Amino acid sequence: MTPQDYVQQKAAASGSSFYYAFLFLPAERRAAITAFYAFCREVDDVVDEVSDPAVAQTKLAWWRREVAQSFAGSPTHPVMRALMPLSAAYAIEARHLSAVIDGCQMDLEQNRYLDFANLQRYCHLVAGVVGE
């Protein structure tokens, strides 16, 4: 399976309406957003599907290293291998991916926000960054 096939399957399997909206984009833009979305799904699945918080922490730490390694020129995960060739054209930077990981990290540590500022920060990390 190619990295492109992997991200396509990951995005489609999510059941999100976002995937269907991507189908209307030009091919290269569609490939970039599909890979980015697959990254988001991978990282979010760590929080949603891993019941042991220590294991989830370890997996998020692995993704942090994978992002750094990928932007240094050595991606290993199929999502990163699909995303990296398109990242410069769409100004996708390591900081964007790290922000998504930060938001998912917050999911592990907290599930309620007592003030709007922290809720707003969380929403930006897990959703706003994707819009950027």
- For residue 91, give the CATH number of its domain: 1.10.600.10
DSSP string for residues in 87-119: HTTTT--HHHHHHHHHHHHHHHH-S--SSHHHH
Residue 130 has a pLDDT of: 79
Residue 117 has a pLDDT of: 92
3-class SS of residue 17: helix
Parent domain of 124? 3-131
The pLDDT of 102-127, averaged and rounded, is 87
pLDDT tens by residue, 14-40: 777 878 888 899 999 999 999 999 999
- Is residue 11 predicted with pLDDT exceeding 80? yes
Q: Bigger pLDDT: 131 or 88? A: 88
The pLDDT of 84-113, averaged and rounded, is 92
Residue 58 has a pLDDT of: 96
State the Rg of the chain over Cα: 15
From the CB of residue 8, how many other CB atoms can be counted at a distance below 10 Å? 20
Among 9, 62, 36, 40, CA closest to 107: 40
Contact criterion met (CB below 8 Å) for 101 and 63: yes
Residue 95 has a pLDDT of: 96
How many structural domains compose the chain? Answer: 1
pLDDT tens by residue, 44-53: 999 989 989 9
Residue 124 has a pLDDT of: 86
Residue 13 has a pLDDT of: 87
Structure token pair of residue 115: 């003030």
pLDDT tens by residue, 55-84: 999 999 999 999 999 999 999 999 999 999
